[in-house]
Structure formats: structure tokens, C-alpha cells
Amino acid sequence: SILGCISVLSTFAFQQAEEEKKRQAEQQERMLRANPLLMADGAVKRRWDDEVVFRNQAKNQPKAKRQFVNDPVRSEFHKKFLSKYIR
């Protein structure tokens, strides 16, 4: 009877130890997968807009040349200021 209880307790302790090892291994694996710098395969998650058709459209368009206006109310700075802070 005592030997039976001891064997049951040792089996139970062994099972708990195995479950704890598995849980720790899974946690370690999750931590390694969470950090892309530690990934062994080097695969990086792609951005959602990597394959978008209309990407970087404004790169090739020439910038509008600034015109000098001798009136502070009609200057480009004043127009931007009004549109940003007043309207």
C-alpha cells in the first residue's frame, strides 16, 4: 500500500516535471519567434503595402517652384499658416 502510494506520487511528480519542461520549451520558442532579430531563417514580415499598385507616386513628380511675392499676406508661408492654424 505504501509502495503503491509512493509509485503513484513519483509518477505524478514525473508527469508534472514533464509538463513543466514542455511549457518552458513552448515559452522559449514563443519568445524566439516574437523577436525577428533572433529568427534563424532571416525571414522578415512584409508590410501590408509592399505590393500596392500606387506606391511612391509622388517621387517622380517635379516640385513646384516657389515664387517670390513681395506681399507678406500673399506669400506662400502666409497661405500655409492660414490653412494650418486659422481655417
Of all residues in the chain, what percent are helix, strand and coil, respectively (each to 5)? 55, 0, 45
Among the listed residues 52, 41, 78, the one whose alpha carbon sits nearest the alpha carbon of residue 32: 41
* 75 falls within a domain: no
Q: Which helix (H) or strand (E) holds 19?
A: helix 2-34
Q: Give yes or no for residue 7 having a pLDDT over 90.
A: no
Q: Give yes or no for residue 81 having a pLDDT over 90.
A: yes
Domain that holds residue 11: 1-41
Longest CA–CA span in the chain (Å) reads 105
Q: What integer best gives the mean pLDDT of the chain?
A: 81
* 10 falls within a domain: yes
Cα 66 to Cα 5: distance, rounded to the nearest angstrom? 90
Count structural domains, the chain: 1
